[in-house]
Amino acid sequence: MSEEILSTLLVEDDEADACLLMETVLGPPAQSHVVHVRRLSDAVDAAGRQRFDVVLLDLSLPDTRGLGTVVRARAAMPALPIIVLTGNHDEQTGLEALRVGAQDYLVKGSIPRERMLRAIRYAVERDQIQRLLRLANEDLERKVIERTAELTLTVEALQNEVRSHRKAREELAARAAQLRALAGQLTLTEQRERQRLARLLHEHLQQLLVGAKFRVAILGRSEDSAVQAAACEIGHLLDESIRASRVMTAELSPPIVHEGGLTAGLEWLARWMKDRHDLVVELTTDDHVPSVAEDVRVLLFESVRELLFNAVKHARVGRARVELRAIEGNLVELSVADDGPGFEPSSARPASATGG
């Protein structure tokens, strides 16, 4: 610390002790920047009017005594370091003064001048360091509070975003469930319409065709050769019509899908694809496949049939594989594969906004 003259506030009611300190340690007021007062209240007034570097405080003053003097001085002059002045046999009081806020204590009349001056300067320096530490701590606390507030806002923003994402996922899940339900209903509705048309073909059109065939067979017994030839030709046409209506009935709504379950329906589909489209379907099924709801069963059947149609139409292959397996959770896994060339998904041209 530099050797600049310190501005000292001396609070001492004993005139002799004050004069001794100024003569032997501090120097006269004109040379040492010392202000001498006899009461604590006068010291507080002086500190309010003038800046001081240190306070030398006696504990026995007319308006206050004991350790309470330090407490009151500290409260009234918090920015100033306080050095307590004690008597020759009063070091215990000096130590207690340190605990209540004094920077140091000095025993009057027993310490050499240089040592006392050094103690005063050290006390001032310690006080400055402590003040800087307090300011640094206050600044750190302020920054911590600010960062905590920022982090709180960030956390709240993240929580709001998470809630928004969760809500969006829940809405998407609800929409997906609605779409699945609608798809199931649409599949069932379509299948019911297929069943209705199949019944019409089977119960009405086929019966009419069979009845017409019987009538034509009667005409074929005519002795007129022209009538016999016409009846034979008409009979062939009716046979073709009956076969076509039966195929249409099977294609529209195979009864086995509704009555025999998914495995039986796939077995029928494999035979039908071989007979109708010359496509060999290798069907592999587990022994115990869980039962599925009718709408799901119909949807799976129609999906497999459509994939097999695509294998015939686009891949132009003669063989395909269908696997139906039971998986964990009472679920089923259905896969369809063929030996066609396929394509690279990344090379597929994305659909335009207009569906092109």
326-332 mean pLDDT: 83
In whole angstroms, what is the distance from residue 160 CA to residue 347 CA?
39
Give me the pLDDT at residue 1, please.
Answer: 42
Answer with the residue of higher pLDDT: 93 or 31.
Answer: 93
To the question of domain 8-111 being in CATH 1.10.150.310, the answer is no
- The domain made up of 255-356 has a fold known as Heat Shock Protein 90 (3.30.565)
DSSP 3-state of 149: helix
Query: Structural domain boundaries of the chain?
Result: 8-111, 255-356
Give me the pLDDT at residue 353, please.
Answer: 42
DSSP 3-state of 353: coil
DSSP 3-state of 38: coil
Structure-token pair, residue 83? 């050095």
- Please report which confidence band the pLDDT of residue 352 belongs to, taking 50, 70 and 90 as the band edges: very low
Q: Do residues 311 and 346 lie in contact, with contact meaning Cβ atoms separated by under 8 Å? A: no
Q: Within 77-112, where are the H helices?
A: 91-99
In whole angstroms, what is the distance from residue 356 CA to residue 349 CA?
10
Give Dmax over CA atoms of the chain in angstroms: 168
Structure-token pair, residue 183? 């798809």
Give me the pLDDT at residue 344, please.
Answer: 60
pTM: 0.42
Tell me the pLDDT tens digit for each residue of 39-49: 999 999 999 99
